[in-house]
């Protein structure tokens, strides 16, 4: 599937006292890239909750930190759907310092949930088809 790329910059608020991105903030960058990927496909998460009655939530995440990102670095966050099932998507993601220095690799599984019951539910067919052909 196609690699989605989302550019970001490291701000002071993202860093610890040493000027290095705090480890948990990498997860925020990864999340934002997945959200922007979904928007690029034409789906707003607010509309999915209101109209389709679904939301996506992280079920599992694995991350390997390779090098630190630092204050004011320009980053490139990549997201690729590696696997699609009836109720979940598994992404492989990377964060790179521009132009192409890998900083971390991640695998993130998100599950489609019924908004009311907060239980796994099938990804709507039209969404799954768009994802599979993206």
DSSP string, the chain: -PPEEEEEE--GGGB-TTSBB-HHHHHHHHHHHHHHHHHHTT--HHHIIIII-EEEEEEEEEEEE-S--BTT-EEEEEEEEEEE-SSEEEEEEEEEETTTEEEEEEEEEEEEEETTT-SB-PPPHHHHHHHHT-
- Of 14, 16, 64, 100, which residue is the catalytic one? 16
Output DSSP code: residue 98. Answer: T
Q: Is 16 an annotated catalytic residue? A: yes
Annotated catalytic residues are: 16
């Amino acid at each position: 599937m196609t690699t989605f790329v989302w550019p970001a910059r490291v701000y002071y608020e993202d860093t610890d006292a040493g000027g290095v991105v705090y480890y948990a903030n990498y997860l925020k960058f990864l999340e934002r890239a997945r959200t922007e990927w979904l928007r690029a496909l034409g789906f707003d998460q607010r509309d999915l909750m209101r109209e389709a009655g679904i939301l996506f939530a992280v079920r599992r995440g694995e991350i390997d930190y390779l090098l630190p990102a630092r204050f004011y670095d320009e980053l490139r966050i990549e997201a690729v759907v590696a696997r699609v099932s009836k109720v979940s998507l598994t992404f492989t993601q990377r964060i790179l310092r521009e132009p192409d220095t890998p900083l971390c690799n991640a695998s993130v599984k998100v599950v489609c949930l019924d908004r009311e019951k907060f239980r796994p539910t099938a990804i709507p067919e039209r969404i799954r088809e768009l994802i599979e052909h993206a």
